[in-house]
């Protein structure tokens, strides 16, 4: 379900947004990064990901984002941790920071899959390292419940 823009603006003002991020590796153990075409992080190299939709499991959201953003199927999807950020910018230019909480997955992309970017990204590449500001907390780093 797509959230109407005015309602999404209201949500951003009062709640963190639940997302998934996917650390995708190829057969050379390199990371697939996309160059973001919109805020937050416009123009920066990042991993793919996005909001979890109502009624969707976290794994379903990760697989959907791979299909939507890259046009690919992923293999060996596994939960590796979480990432939290409060970006000063948001997609609407509002003065409210965008607070997001991401569940981070790891996955492998098949050798022969063709990348087909959607409008969320302007470019893609394989890199030896993840972006420095992408600080994944492993499940053991989160601490006792």
pLDDT digits (tens, 9 = 90+) for 48-68: 999 999 999 999 999 999 999
pLDDT digits (tens, 9 = 90+) for 98-137: 899 999 999 999 888 999 999 999 999 999 999 999 999 9
Q: 77 vs 89, which has greater pLDDT?
A: 77
> Whole-model pTM?
0.89
Q: Which of 28, 23, 127, 35 is nearest to 65 (CA)?
A: 23
pLDDT digits (tens, 9 = 90+) for 12-53: 889 999 999 999 999 999 999 999 998 888 999 999 999 999
| Within-domain flag for 142 | no
DSSP state of 141: T
| Within-domain flag for 141 | no
**CATH value at residue 74:** 3.90.79.10
- Domain range for residue 64? 5-125
| Within-domain flag for 144 | no
- How many other C-beta atoms are found inside a 10 Å radius of the C-beta of residue 25? 15
| Within-domain flag for 145 | no
- Number of compact structural domains in the chain: 1
- How many other C-beta atoms are found inside a 10 Å radius of the C-beta of residue 60? 13
β-pair type (48-51, 74-87)? unpaired
């Amino acid at each position: 379900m797509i959230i109407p823009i005015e309602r999404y603006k209201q949500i951003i003002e009062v709640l963190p947004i639940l997302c998934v991020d996917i650390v995708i590796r190829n057969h050379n153990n390199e990371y697939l990064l996309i160059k973001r075409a919109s805020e937050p992080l416009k123009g920066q190299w990042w991993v793919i990901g996005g909001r979890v939709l109502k009624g969707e499991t976290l794994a379903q959201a990760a697989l959907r984002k791979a299909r939507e953003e890259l046009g690919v199927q992923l293999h060996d999807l596994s939960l590796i941790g979480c990432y939290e950020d409060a970006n000063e910018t948001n997609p609407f230019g509002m003065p409210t920071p965008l607070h997001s909480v991401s569940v981070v997955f790891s996955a492998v992309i098949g050798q022969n899959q063709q990348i087909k970017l959607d409008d969320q990204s302007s470019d893609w590449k394989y890199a030896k390292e993840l972006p420095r500001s992408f600080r994944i907390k492993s499940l053991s780093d989160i601490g006792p419940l």
